[in-house]
Amino acid sequence: MAILTLPPLSLYVHIPWCVQKCPYCDFNSHAQKGAIPEAEYVQHLLQDLQQDLSRLKDSVSERKLHSIFIGGGTPSLFSAESIATLLNGIQSQIPFSENIEITLEANPGTAEAERFKGYVKAGVTRISMGIQSFSDEKLHALGRIHNSDEAKTAVQFAKNSGLKSFNLDLMHGLPNQTLAQALDDLRQAIALEPPHLSWYQLTIEPNTMFAYRPPRLPDDDELWDIFEQGHQLLTEAGYQQYETSAYAKTDFQCQHNLNYWRFGDYLAIGCGAHGKMTFANGDILRYSKTKHPKGYLRGEYLYEQKNVAEIDRAFEFFMNRFRLLEAVPKLEFEQFTGLPQSAVKNQIDFALQQNYLTETATHWQITQHGKLFLNELLELFLAESE
């Protein structure tokens, strides 16, 4: 079996510190205790990349980065100088494509006008801002360090900094949230004219403060009304939904996330970061980095790596692809998994019969019905059923 074409290549960079830990968050982030070892961490990130590039050289050679995502945690705790050192150091090791998208996640509680301009000077093209809500009462319930006015000021900084795009992260289904409150958050976000809006439903994750002391959340009927009416509001305002929680104006989809969902490749550096790389010999490797800053700062970067077995590839491909609303090119299934279409013929025929999918000669398209029965659709591709 051979992979015909290597998919586009991205890079994820994880910054694991925050001012304080939010009670709903299960991301790999730690409340900062004293000064963050910022310069030291940047040097470790660059050494981590160097080790990846030599370990993965058969996959990486001749490839350019098409996007970088600096996520966290709270990357906006880092100075513009550190981000410039980081991006220069990355570019000296691996070339950037001409239109590279470079996103940095920012928390409005740590936003400064000059710092945002410095990020742009360093090469950042897009800022993703963790707004969550415009209600001070909800922000307090979420344990956020910013208030509504600070959120709006931070968006103005983003707008004035020369970025190509910016995203606002909002959550809905918040503690005691009414339909009117959820729609009001969306209206205030839309008024700020972000080219991209991520609209997540709050989930209670194990091992978070909210899991130990669950707040009262809207029930399923209320959540459905919030989703339906919110979706309509966003659509009327010119935002197209392209993934479960992602909305964008035309041509402003997040290229980095699209690459994940299209089963592209991504290098990963920083605490707990996950990578996926395809090799011309047909191997697909997944790997992750040491989660805790202590070990990582000792230079222990690689935590584990594992090849994706042939039998798991169809499931992994469709699990990612069917998050997107766009049609799936059949050719990319063959190119990116190394499997022939005949490997999934029975499952696809069944999915067509069930109206989970429609197809043309070149594409598969998930239907509205398929979206509602996504788990059943994906189960068809699990290893046991092949």
Ligand X SMILES: C[S@@+](CC[C@H](N)C(=O)[O-])C[C@H]1O[C@@H](n2cnc3c(N)ncnc32)[C@H](O)[C@@H]1O
Binding partner of 96, given ligand SF4, ligand X, none, CB within 5-8 angstroms per partner class: none
Contact between 27 and ligand SF4 by CB under 6 A: the answer reads yes
Contact between 202 and ligand X by CB under 6 A: the answer reads yes
Contact between 29 and ligand SF4 by CB under 6 A: the answer reads yes
Contact between 76 and ligand SF4 by CB under 6 A: the answer reads no
Stretch that binds ligand SF4, among 20-28, 46-54, 229-237, 350-358 (CB under 6 A): 20-28
Candidates 7, 8, 72, 194; binder of ligand SF4 (CB under 6 A) is 72
Query: Hey, which residues between 123 and 162 contact ligand SF4 (CB under 6 A)?
Result: 130
Dihedrals phi, psi of 362, to nearest 5 degrees: -115, -15
Binding partner of 202, given ligand SF4, ligand X, none, CB within 5-8 angstroms per partner class: ligand X
Q: Which is nearer to ligand SF4, 29 or 257 (CB)?
A: 29
CA distances from 386 to 262, 311, 345, 348 (A): 22, 8, 10, 11
Stretch that binds ligand X, among 46-54, 183-191, 202-210, 372-380 (CB under 6 A): 202-210
Contact string 83-112 vs ligand X (x = CB under 6 A): ----------------------x-x-----
Contact between 244 and ligand X by CB under 6 A: the answer reads no
Binding partner of 21, given ligand X, ligand SF4, none, CB within 5-8 angstroms per partner class: ligand SF4
Where along the sequence are the contacts to ligand X (CB under 6 A)? 24-25, 27, 71-72, 74, 105, 107, 130, 132, 169, 171, 200, 202-203, 205
